[in-house]
């Protein structure tokens, strides 16, 4: 029974490279096992055969934890899956005395266990390559200025041009508000990568993951460490007396690295819990919609911006505060006042998916705009506090949204509209005397920051653009040619 119960949580751990929580998986498996054993005890007490009850409960528990993907297409949906599972368990109970049943369950347990071990070993073998160095070491003088620095990444925030042309929303008033507060808004800024796990590490490492690089588990691990705080920019800040403050986002990819001075943890239940639930027949029930971990994480970060950020501004030492906000990135559960309104029609991690009709797309576009408005209100409030404290603010996006189904087509086949939507981003900086307007991509933002803080020229890297391509089961970082970019 233990193998049948642990299979779902174990597969979540094995298949998720984004630092899944073994503690959460073990807790879910243990709680499920305890409930199953209690039910088994009750059924045995009322006179049912122990062996048959064990087989039946093991089968029902396995289906409960692993049949979530069937609920959307099975006859009668969730109820159909449950009914078939119970019927199969009843049959197994009735056949409990047959040798073939013992034989089948023994081999099923062995097969499930070997499957888990084989996938885990394969993943380990994929990671036995050398780490990939991202960007060259930079040598700059000690900083001559030590203002607090707040770096806010609003995930999936589109450029004003894209918001106007694709989403029908005029974001210019927000830009004008930032400008009135002293920020410089760069409307021509682009991301160098179309995905968070490449874009943000490149920003923080101030260098490129080169085209043609295979995405091994070792590279994934390196990228996630950079996302979590083990990166060149944070090291430079610490080396110049800064305290590093890291706010977890709700996505496991941004779990705090142990070297951060201060970690503001995400809420529990965490993403591992919701991943396990999404495998189960509880999937999409109220409060368990796909993407709930992102939405709850976004709310957590917005609360931090409102109530916690001030504590690290203008205190007894300079702080480097890194905040990854999982909005306006889907799921689209936040209204423009940032209230949570989960709706299965707005669930998932992409703005658009194949097969959606015009009504669905319009609904999701409107919900995306609502989340932009929600984020805008909190960014303005944060900038007001940062300006009052005489601190530096860098507010930006890691990539744009994907109304054009970019996640379902290779980037080499994207139209001009698709590339502009995915690579065009929001960018604003409050750093008096430092020029961010002459930059055009994120890879050079950190370079410009340390250049201004140290009063040491740091050369900019040439602009390049990349996305992932997958062939024969292997993802590779591939260079993308954007309209108007130089080869």
- List the chain residues with pLDDT less than 50: 127-130, 486-487
Judge if 97 and 208 occupy the same domain: no
| Domain's final residue, options 72, 92, 126 | 126
- Shared domain for 311 and 167, answered yes or no, is yes
Q: Are residues 114 and 154 in the same domain?
A: no
* The predicted structure's pLDDT at residue 220: 86
Residue 487 lies in a domain: no
In a shared domain, residues 121 and 177: no
* Cα separation, 325 vs 304, whole angstroms: 10
Domain total of the chain = 2
Is 65 a member of any domain? yes
Residues 235, 363 within the same domain: yes
Last residue of a domain, one of 126, 141, 168: 126
One domain for residues 77 and 176: no
Residue 202 lies in a domain: yes
Tell me the three state secondary structure of residue 69: helix
Give the model confidence (pLDDT) of 80-99 as tens digits.
999 999 999 999 999 888 88
C-alpha to C-alpha distances, 51 to 91, 155, 266, nearest whole angstrom: 13, 52, 43
Confidence (pLDDT) at 217: 79
Domain assignment of residue 461, yes or no: yes
Q: Where are the alpha helices (DSSP H) in 252-329?
A: 271-279, 292-307
Same-domain status, 44 and 163: no
Domain contains 201 = yes
pLDDT for position 125: 57
Q: What does the pLDDT read at residue 132?
A: 57
H helices within 46-94, ranges in order? 50-66, 77-94
In a domain, 91, yes or no: yes
- In this prediction, residue 126 carries a pLDDT of 52
Q: Is residue 141 part of a domain?
A: no
Q: What is the pTM of this model?
A: 0.92
Taking the C-alpha atoms of residue 274 and residue 326, their distance in angstroms, rounded to an integer, is 16
> In this predicted structure, what is the pLDDT of residue 408?
93
Q: Do 53 and 177 lie in a common domain?
A: no
SS3 243: strand
Specify the CATH number for the domain of residue 176.
Answer: 3.40.720.10
CB 430 within 8 A of CB 182: yes
Indicate the residue among 126, 141, 161 that finishes a domain: 126
What DSSP letter does each residue of 314-356 carry, written as one string?
A: SSSS-EEEEEEE--SSSP--B-TT--B---GGG-SSSS--TT-
pLDDT (tens digit per residue) in 386-436? 999 999 999 999 999 999 999 999 998 999 999 999 999 999 999 999 999
Calpha distance 122→17 (Å, rounded)? 13
Q: Are 459 and 439 in contact (CB under 8 A)?
A: no
Same domain, residue pair 116 and 175: no
Could you tell me if residue 341 is inside a domain? Answer: yes
121 and 153 assigned to the same domain = no
* 160 and 198 inside one domain: yes
Q: Which tokens in the block code for residue 5?
A: 């119960």
- Shared domain check, 194 and 74: no
Q: What is the pLDDT of residue 128?
A: 45
For residue 32, give its domain range: 2-126
Q: Are strands 427-430 and 184-185 parallel, antiparallel or unpaired?
A: antiparallel
pLDDT of residue 133: 64
């Amino acid at each position: 029974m233990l193998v049948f119960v642990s299979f779902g949580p174990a597969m979540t751990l094995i298949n998720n490279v984004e630092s899944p929580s073994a503690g959460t998986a073990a807790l879910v498996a243990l709680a499920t096992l305890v409930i199953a054993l209690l039910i088994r005890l009750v059924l045995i007490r009322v006179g049912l055969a122990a062996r048959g009850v064990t087989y039946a409960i093991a089968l029902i528990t396995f289906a409960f934890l692993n049949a979530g993907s069937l609920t959307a297409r099975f006859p009668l949906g969730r109820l159909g899956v449950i009914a078939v599972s119970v019927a199969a368990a009843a049959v197994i109970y009735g056949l409990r005395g047959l040798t073939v049943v013992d034989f089948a369950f023994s081999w099923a347990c062995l097969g499930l266990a070997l499957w888990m071990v084989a996938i885990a070993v394969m993943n380990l073998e994929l990671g036995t390559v050398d780490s990939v160095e991202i960007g060259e070491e930079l040598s700059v003088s000690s900083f001559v200025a030590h203002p607090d620095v707040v770096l806010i990444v609003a995930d999936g925030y589109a450029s004003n041009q894209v918001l106007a042309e694709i989403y029908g929303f005029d974001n210019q008033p927000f830009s004008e508000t930032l400008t009135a507060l002293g920020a410089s808004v760069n409307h021509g800024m682009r991301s160098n990568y179309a995905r968070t796990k490449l874009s943000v590490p490149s920003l923080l490492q101030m260098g490129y993951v080169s085209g043609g690089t295979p995405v091994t588990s070792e590279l994934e691990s390196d990228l996630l460490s950079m996302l979590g705080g083990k990166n060149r920019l944070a090291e430079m800040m610490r080396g110049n007396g800064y305290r590093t403050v890291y706010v977890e986002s709700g996505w496991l990819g941004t779990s705090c690295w142990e070297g951060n001075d201060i970690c503001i943890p995400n809420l529990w239940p965490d993403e591992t819990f919701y991943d396990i639930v999404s495998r189960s027949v509880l999937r999409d029930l109220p409060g368990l919609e796909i993407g709930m971990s992102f939405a709850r994480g976004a709310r957590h970060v917005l609360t931090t911006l409102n109530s916690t950020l001030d504590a690290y501004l203008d205190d007894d030492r300079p702080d480097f505060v890194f905040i990854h906000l999982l909005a306006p990135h889907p799921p689209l559960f936040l209204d423009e006042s940032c209230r949570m309104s989960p709706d299965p029609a707005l669930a998932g991690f992409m703005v658009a998916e194949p097969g959606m009709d015009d009504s669905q797309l319009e609904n999701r576009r409107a919900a995306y705009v609502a989340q932009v408005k929600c984020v805008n209100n909190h960014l303005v409030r944060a900038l007001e506090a940062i300006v009052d404290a005489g601190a530096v603010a860098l507010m930006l996006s890691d990539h744009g949204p994907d109304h054009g189904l970019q996640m379902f087509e290779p980037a080499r086949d994207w139209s001009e509209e698709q590339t502009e939507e995915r690579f065009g981003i929001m960018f604003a900086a409050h750093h008096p005397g430092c020029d961010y307007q002459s930059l055009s991509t994120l890879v050079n933002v950190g370079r410009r920051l340390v250049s201004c803080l140290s009063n040491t020229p740091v050369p900019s890297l040439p602009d390049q653009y990349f996305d992932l391509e997958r062939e024969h089961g292997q993802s590779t970082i591939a260079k993308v040619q954007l309209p108007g970019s130089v080869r």
